């Protein structure tokens, strides 16, 4: 008999525990981070599961200290619960002081299920004055307008508040139109909002709020949801060739029809000609149109409409022609070291197409007749009035000559889709050189091509830095004698001060069999100011050059004070 009682007691305990663990309470607000102003009314909310009898008790805690009961005797039911609370007030009288470590506890009276706020929230003193925190809505502004069905970015910044904010769309008179989002973290700073399509045309503002702390945007405009077809291609004055394709492009907004009708309308107001009945979708659409060779030359528009003709869009005026008119010409050409540079100018409308160059010259004296070489430039683009250099340097197509120089001739031709209205400037004659650097085939030329330092282009040099200077020395033609290059370094503190020579270095070039070499020198600037690196070639005028005007090259650098 005794063992039976023990067994019965164990079963009862297990039953009570199973019931308790199948019941739950979850506090949802305040749940951590909120800043509630004392004396304002806020809702305390929670959810429960498996609890259908008894009552709930809501208590206020400061950390682990029980401050008092907020409300008791709340009937238990499953689901969501909410009670209004004048922030700070306690059921037994008295008021909680301001603080930032408060928690709310909800419990089923005398039973196990209970829950606390996940983190502390703040109760701020009202003081009878304005709230201490602030919310500033930074977008949208009154300068903006939007379309119903489109989107907008809502942005805000806060000061001295925590927790969550509520965002709403309101009419100009303050009437709430839509609650956009509740319980948004205060520091999220921005959200993307899709404007409902049923919003009527008018002025509105965005409100971001937390209790009595409210931020409003300026009044902006929303335009009502509209149905439209906008044709974007062909564009104004575009040219289209017979027998070629044209991409007809349009944008449909709120058009529910699955198909549309496309017509070609002549500018002389003759009846439109049907083109196609392609599929249509809201957004961007494209139809590839093969232009018939039987269409007369002239100006046209593309008309796109719904089957019932109620929604219609049309393109700008464009042209259909047999051939595109162009006017290209060769203004200059330079041919040396197996590289041909052609300067092409467009005297007419924009050109997009293929070009053909026919270059005639003698490769050597053994074969007395010149040979013609064909060069092609595909998908070439040159805008009206512009000039462009074209380079050909494939020796397999354009072999270099064996002698020092020869005469060459170039002729330009356009593709079959174009008609060049002026061919008098399509030819050019000049001299081809075997070596770009020895154009007179006799005297050499020596020069400094560029100067730089180990600090690169940023030139952020300070006094005391170890500066390496580099100069690229180039030779064209054959040099038979040694020569020297002198580096002088000048200093002047301010821009227009007198220069002072502070360093001098001679480089003796004994091995003269090279095309280019780099001269290197190190120095340490001691003061803030301007330093001029001056390189002079062939100081003692030993070499007889084609051009000695390029024998001096300078570079100025600025040195900052030592930090």
**Of the residues 223, 249, 271, which one is the last residue of a structural domain?**
223
What is the rounded distance in angstroms from the CA atom of residue 410 to the CA atom of residue 401?
16
19 falls within a domain: no
Query: Which domain-ending residue is among 408, 433, 458?
Result: 433
Beta bridge partners of 121: 102
Distance CA 145, CA 254 (A): 19
Residues 372-382 have pLDDT tens digits of: 999 999 989 99
Pick the last residue of a domain from 178, 195, 223: 223
Within its chain, how far is the Cα of 359 from the centroid? 44
- Residue percentage of the chain with pLDDT more than 90: 40
Give mean pLDDT, residues 482-499. 89
Mean pLDDT of all residues in 232-240:
91
Number of residues that this document lists for the chain: 563
The count of C-alpha atoms lying within 13 angstroms of the C-alpha of 403, restricted to the half-sphere facing its C-beta, is: 13
Q: Confirm whether 7 is domain-assigned.
A: no
**pTM value surpassing 0.75:** no
Among residues 350, 76, 111, 67, the alpha carbon closest in space to that of 235 is found at 350
- For residue 294, the domain's CATH number is 2.60.40.1930
pLDDT, tens only, 143-166: 889 988 788 999 999 887 878 899
CA distance 85 to 108: 19
Host H or E run for residue 42 = strand 41-49
Q: Which domain holds residue 490?
A: 445-560
Residue 87 and residue 36 in contact, taking contact as beta carbons nearer than 8 Å: yes
With respect to residue 1, please indicate whether it lies within any of the assigned structural domains.
no
> What radius of gyration, in Å, describes the C-alpha atoms of the chain?
43
Under 8 Å between Cβ of 108 and 67: no
CATH number (domain holding residue 451): 2.60.40.10
DSSP state of 295: S
Q: Count the helices and strands in the chain (H runs, E runs).
A: 1, 44
| Average pLDDT of the chain to the nearest whole number | 86
Adjacency order of strands within the sheet including 228-233: 228-233, 245-253, 283-290
Please give the pLDDT value at position 110.
63
In a domain? residue 531: yes
Q: pLDDT tens digits, residue range 188-205?
A: 999 999 998 778 889 999
Position 295 pLDDT exceeds 50: yes
Residue spans of beta strands (DSSP E) within 383-466 = 387-392, 405-414, 418-420, 427-433, 445-453, 461-462
- 189 torsion bin: left (phi>0), alpha (psi -120 to 50), beta (else): left
pLDDT value at position 4?
Answer: 52
Q: Rounded distance, CA 104 to CA 44, Å? A: 8
pLDDT digits (tens, 9 = 90+) for 346-401: 998 889 899 999 999 988 766 668 889 999 999 899 999 999 999 988 777 888 88
Residue 268 inside a domain? The answer is yes
Return the DSSP state at 12.
Answer: H
Is 174 part of any domain?
Answer: yes
Q: Decide if 439 is inside a domain.
A: no
Count of domains for the chain: 5
Q: Is the dihedral of CA 158, 162, 165, 171 positive or negative?
A: negative
Bond prior to 9 in cis (omega within 30° of 0): no
Contact present, 220 and 145 (Cβ < 8 Å): yes
User: Residue range 112-128: average pLDDT?
Assistant: 78
């Amino acid at each position: 008999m005794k063992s039976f009682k023990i067994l019965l007691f164990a079963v009862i305990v297990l039953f009570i525990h199973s019931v308790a663990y199948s019941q739950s309470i979850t506090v949802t607000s305040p749940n951590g981070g909120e800043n509630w102003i004392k004396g304002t009314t806020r809702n305390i909310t929670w959810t429960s599961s498996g609890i259908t009898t008894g009552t709930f008790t809501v208590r206020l805690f400061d950390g682990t200290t029980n401050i008092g009961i907020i409300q008791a005797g709340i009937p238990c039911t499953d689901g969501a619960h909410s009670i209004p609370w004048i922030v700070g007030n306690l059921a037994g009288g008295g008021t909680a002081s301001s603080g930032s470590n408060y928690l709310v506890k909800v419990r089923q009276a005398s039973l196990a299920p209970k829950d606390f706020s996940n983190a502390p929230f703040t109760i701020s003193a009202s003081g009878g004055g304005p709230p201490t925190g602030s919310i500033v809505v930074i977008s949208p502004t009154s300068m903006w307008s939007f379309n119903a069905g489109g989107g907008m970015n809502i942005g805000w910044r806060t000061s001295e508040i925590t927790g969550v904010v509520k965002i709403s769309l309101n009419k100009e008179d303050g009437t709430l139109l839509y609650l956009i989002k509740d319980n948004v973290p205060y520091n999220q700073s921005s959200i993307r909002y899709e404007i409902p399509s049923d919003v009527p045309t008018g002025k509105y503002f965005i409100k971001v709020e937390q209790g009595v702390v409210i931020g409003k945007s300026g009044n902006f405009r929303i335009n009502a949801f509209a149905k439209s077809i906008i044709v974007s291609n062909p564009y104004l004055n575009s040219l289209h060739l017979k027998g070629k394709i044209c991409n007809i492009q349009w944008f449909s907004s709120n058009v529910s029809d699955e198909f549309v009708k496309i017509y070609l309308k002549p500018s002389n107001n003759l009846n439109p000609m049907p083109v196609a009945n392609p599929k249509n979708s809201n957004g961007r659409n494209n139809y590839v149109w093969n232009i018939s060779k039987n269409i007369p030359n002239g100006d046209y528009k593309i008309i796109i409409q719904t089957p019932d003709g109620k929604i219609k869009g049309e393109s700008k005026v464009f042209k259909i022609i047999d051939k595109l008119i162009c006017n290209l010409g060769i203004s200059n050409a330079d041919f040396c070291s197996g590289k041909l540079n052609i300067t092409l100018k467009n005297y007419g409308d924009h050109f997009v197409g293929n070009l053909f160059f026919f270059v005639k010259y003698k490769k050597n004296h053994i074969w007395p007749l010149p040979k013609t070489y064909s060069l092609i430039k595909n998908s070439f683009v040159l805008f009206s009035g512009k000039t462009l250099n074209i380079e050909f340097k494939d020796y397999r197509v354009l072999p270099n000559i064996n002698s020092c120089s020869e005469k060459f001739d170039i002729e330009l031709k356009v593709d079959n889709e174009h008609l060049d209205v002026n061919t008098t400037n399509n030819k050019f004659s000049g001299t081809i050189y075997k070596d770009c650097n020895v154009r007179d085939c006799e005297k050499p030329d020596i020069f400094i091509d560029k100067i730089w330092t180990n600090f690169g282009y940023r030139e952020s040099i300070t006094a005391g830095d170890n500066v390496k200077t580099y100069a690229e020395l180039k030779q064209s033609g054959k040099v038979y004698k040694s020569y020297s290059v002198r580096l002088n370094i000048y200093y002047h503190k301010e821009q227009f001060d007198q220069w002072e020579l502070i360093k001098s270095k001679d480089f003796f070039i004994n091995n003269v069999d090279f095309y280019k070499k780099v001269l290197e020198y190190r120095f340490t600037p001691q003061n803030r100011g301007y330093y001029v690196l001056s390189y002079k070639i062939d100081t003692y005028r030993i070499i007889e050059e084609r051009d000695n005007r390029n024998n001096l090259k300078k570079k100025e650098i600025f040195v900052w004070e030592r930090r």
